Structure 1
Amino acid sequence: NTELAFASVERIMRDVNGGDLIRYTHANGASMFFIAVYLHMLRGLYYGSYKAPREMIWIVGCLIFFLMIATAFLGYVLPWGQMSYWGAEVITNLIGAIPVIGEPVLIWLRGGPAIDNATLNRFFSLHYLLPFVIAGCVVLHLWALHAAGQNNPVGILIPKDREKKDTVPFHPYFTVKDGFAIILFLILFAVFVFFMPNALGHADNYIPANPLQTPAHIVPEWYMLPFYAILRAIPDKFGGVVAMFGSIGVLFILPWLDTSKVRSMRYRPTMRTFFIIFVIVGLILGWCGAQLPDAPVIGTFKTFVLIDGDLNSYLWLTRFATAYYFAFFLIILPLVGLRETPLPIPATISEPVLSGGDAMTAAAPASPEKKG
């Protein structure tokens, strides 16, 4: 109910025992989930975990990521604050930009011509449902991992006859390693929950939703900022929608864009440099998404107007970063894979470990690997 949604959250915070802890754990838990997934995706990108025979693992992982974004957006609307309402207004309006079918689909999604009680009810139901869909996709993700086998930092397929030499038991090695990482992550989580629970949120969401008063700056949660920046980088509304969804969609076809025969960027120094730039560009897009498009990047420094904005503005910084984002996947990955000369890779995982650096000098160059 739009008349009770904001008050119900405040009642949980004020009158329910541990209500503030429940809310802050839920909100910051989503942020921690996204941090873990972003790190997981970057690691997979660096070590080539998307390449054959693990394409299905990567595709299901990308589907989980997309469902997480959808779930987070739906949940962001439910507190019914100013940022909740106007964030829903902006994002749902994107569907209306689709030619021919956009407007009818928009009305169907909202349950009416404007965001109101029907929209809130639908978003609540979907926010409750999608985590179960994500859980099902996680099961598929693990099944695909079990079928294809996990990757390794060297990026080579381990023959059956060398499994004992090139692998270690899951317990105690992986349990201790992952357990230690989980403890560190929980400490970070506790710092946010107990000491700065609103650091990753927005102050305007503590103001009840008002359809007649637009906030000075509408921004989503931090984990959506890079894609929101890409949306704003394109002056045409429909073009911005295509670019935003394309920035996620390109991840699904990544296994077929990388032409290199070597998985791990540990042995691809040229590609490693482009990857580091890509990570920096992703952080820049996130920062730009939280800023006003026309705000200057460097103080009061004035340059000149280029097309529709000052060159010294977050709008143009976003456009340059967006260009590199797509160039990385559509141009750099295919071309560098064809032109680069990778470092020699060891025949087995145990060689460089047991023989020190000498094994690398005797290692064979990379060779194509068949899908298994």
Structure 2
Amino acid sequence: MSFAWAKQYEPQSGFTKWIDEKLPVPRLVYNAIGAGYPVPRNLNYMWNFGVLAGFCLMLQIVTGVILAMHYASNTEVAFGQVEHIMRNVNWGWMMRYAHANGASFFFIVIYLHIFRGLYYSSYKAPREMIWLLGVVIFLLMMATAFMGYVLPWGQMSFWGAKVITGLFGAIPLVGEPLQVWLVGGYAPNDSTLNRFFSLHFLLPFVIAGVVILHIWALHIPGSSNPTGVEVKKESDTVPFHPYYTAKDGFGLGVFLIFFTFMVFFLPNALGHPDNYIEANPLSTPAHIVPEWYFLPFYAILRAFTGDLTIPFTGIVLIQAKLLGVIAMFGSILVWFFLPWLDKSPVRSGHYRPMFKKFFWFGLIPTMIVLTICGGAPAEEPYVMLSQIFTAYYFLHFLVILPIISQIEVPKPLPYSITEAVIGSDEVPGGTDGGGDNPQAAVQPLPA
């Protein structure tokens, strides 16, 4: 995003001028997060989660590299090495607890970031690429977290790996060879642990690369805002520094209070008790569940209990296992198509009465129920609830959202961000206020 009123970077010394000519990193940082980057003046604390996500990623990389120095990806010693880190390595317990709880807090921040984007329609033009890259980051995070969960080589690590890698076997023709190739055998073993450790170490750096693209894409159209109205003039913006660096700093402080409380007082609260038992292929846990942040998608996977058949013939078109796999991946892949499924000319949910009702009383309860069902045994009433809310989940994105984007009557938008903040602004024709201005009633999205 480039505005004529944005403050330009000016080197103050001979050294900084030389650096700016040869390798303009200070200019890049200044234009990205300094006074050279104008940001809408009305961003609320829901816009803090991008910075918090970046902090979580850095925390995971730093603690992960330190843990990797003491870990051995060997099934004979992996469980013992984790105990060695906890008991014998200086500050190893804190690194391990910070890394384990950091993953959960990372997903909390990302889920809040995603659902903020859904409510304020941050996926709409001209920010489609920002959204698409964000979904890619989420998929990479899920893969990284799953592989990391296997590394302690506890009971839930082993059996979780067996269940999830077994899903690839449902793919017709290539499924079983793909599963054997991925696992390195017919059940999780030493080869599996080595491969997962390598990928778990590598993928966070891939995520960091996609995050850079995500931020780059953000700086082209600029940040969205709670009104969904685009920046029109200088009074609509403030410099990122010091206004939002201070606001993000406060948000980070609050985040760290909760995070450190979990690390020091409830470090095992988010883990599964069975994972503190060494992996035993001959002893299946009574109830196999993934980490909490996978539970809604796990519920979708288990919602399919019957094969898709041709009526009255009994011929199976798609087995139930494959239907579950398709639905689980489809529940995330559908997010890629949101910029084209939601055709409303208004972005913010604040000005979309029908959209707001379906979001707060439809989508949010659906995700909560699916999370509960994913952590519950595969029995009634949880299976039936999973099926009902899985159906609603897909209906929300594929049917309800496109329909309400066509039929709902949005509330009048403010003429500008400044009007939304201070209550009045100059509009074309010399009148003040945009609430009664027909030009401000609906503001079409740019092509």
TM range (shorter): over 0.9
Q: After TM superposition, give the deviation of residue 368 of structure 1 in Å.
A: 2.3
Q: Does 1:187 align with 2:272?
A: no
Give, in whole Å, the separation in 2 of the partners of 1:20 and 1:368.
54
Q: Does 1:266 align with 2:350?
A: yes
3-state SS of paired residue (2:411): coil
After superposition, what is the alpha-carbon deviation per residue over 1:4-41, rounded to whole angstroms, capped at 9, x for unaligned? 01010011111112111111000001111111111111
2:174 maps to 101
Q: After TM superposition, give the deviation of residue 283 of structure 1 in Å.
A: 1.3
CA contact (8 A) 1:71 1:131 kept: yes
CA contact (8 A) 2:369 2:389 kept: yes
Give, in whole Å, the separation in 2 of the partners of 1:170 and 1:78.
40
Give, in whole Å, the separation in 2 of the partners of 1:314 and 1:19.
39
Task: Name which one, 1 or 2, has greater alpha-carbon Rg.
Answer: 2
3-state SS of paired residue (1:168): strand
TM-score (norm 2): 0.77
3-state SS of paired residue (2:143): helix
Aligned pairs (5 A) from 1:284-295: 284-294=369-379
Aligned pairs (5 A) from 1:42-53: 42-53=115-126
Which runs of at least 4 in structure 1 moved beyond 4 Å after TM superposition?
356-359
Aligned pairs (5 A) from 1:199-278: 199-235=269-305, 236-276=320-360, 277-278=362-363
Q: Does 1:368 align with 2:444?
A: yes
Structure 2 unmatched runs, 5+:
1-73, 306-319, 425-431
Q: After TM superposition, give the deviation of residue 360 of structure 1 in Å.
A: 2.5
CA contact (8 A) 1:155 1:263 kept: yes
Q: Does 1:73 align with 2:146?
A: yes
1:306 maps to none
After superposition, what is the alpha-carbon deviation per residue over 1:158-188, rounded to whole angstroms, capped at 9, x for unaligned? 23xx1x1111121221111111111000111
1:8 maps to 81
Q: Does 1:328 align with 2:396?
A: yes
Give, in whole Å, the separation in 1 of the partners of 2:264 and 2:164.
31
1:351 maps to 419
CA contact (8 A) 2:229 2:443 kept: no
What amino acid does structure 2 have at the position aligned with 1:347?
Answer: Y
Q: After TM superposition, give the deviation of residue 191 of structure 1 in Å.
A: 0.9
CA contact (8 A) 1:345 1:360 kept: yes
CA contact (8 A) 2:301 2:327 kept: yes
What amino acid does structure 2 have at the position aligned with 1:275?
Answer: F
CA contact (8 A) 1:84 1:209 kept: yes
3-state SS of paired residue (1:370): coil
Give, in whole Å, the separation in 2 of the partners of 1:2 and 1:353.
59
1:22 maps to 95
After superposition, what is the alpha-carbon deviation per residue over 1:164-216, rounded to whole angstroms, capped at 9, x for unaligned? 11111212211111111110001110111001001110000010101111100
What amino acid does structure 1 have at the position aligned with 2:385?
Answer: L
3-state SS of paired residue (1:360): coil
Give, in whole Å, the separation in 2 of the partners of 1:267 and 1:344.
7
CA contact (8 A) 1:352 1:358 kept: no
What amino acid does structure 1 have at the position aligned with 2:159?
Answer: W
TM-score (norm 1): 0.92
Give, in whole Å, the separation in 2 of the partners of 1:114 and 1:227.
23
What amino acid does structure 1 have at the position aligned with 2:268?
Answer: N
What amino acid does structure 2 have at the position aligned with 1:143?
Answer: W
3-state SS of paired residue (1:262): coil
After superposition, what is the alpha-carbon deviation per residue over 1:258-315, rounded to whole angstroms, capped at 9, x for unaligned? 0111111110011001111211211111111111121xxxxxxxxxxxxxxx5xx111
3-state SS of paired residue (2:250): helix
Fraction of identical pairs, as percent = 60
Pair 1:287–1:99, CA change in 2 (3 A): same
After superposition, what is the alpha-carbon deviation per residue over 1:314-349, rounded to whole angstroms, capped at 9, x for unaligned? 111111111111111101110000010000111211
What amino acid does structure 2 have at the position aligned with 1:370?
Answer: P
Q: After TM superposition, give the deviation of residue 358 of structure 1 in Å.
A: 6.0
2:246 maps to 176
CA contact (8 A) 1:78 1:123 kept: yes
Q: Does 1:33 align with 2:106?
A: yes
* Aligned residue-pair number: 351
1:112 maps to 185
3-state SS of paired residue (1:79): coil
What amino acid does structure 2 have at the position aligned with 1:184?
Answer: V
Give, in whole Å, the separation in 1 of the partners of 2:422 and 2:328.
47
2:51 maps to none
What amino acid does structure 1 have at the position aligned with 2:398?
Answer: L
Give, in whole Å, the separation in 2 of the partners of 1:265 and 1:340.
12
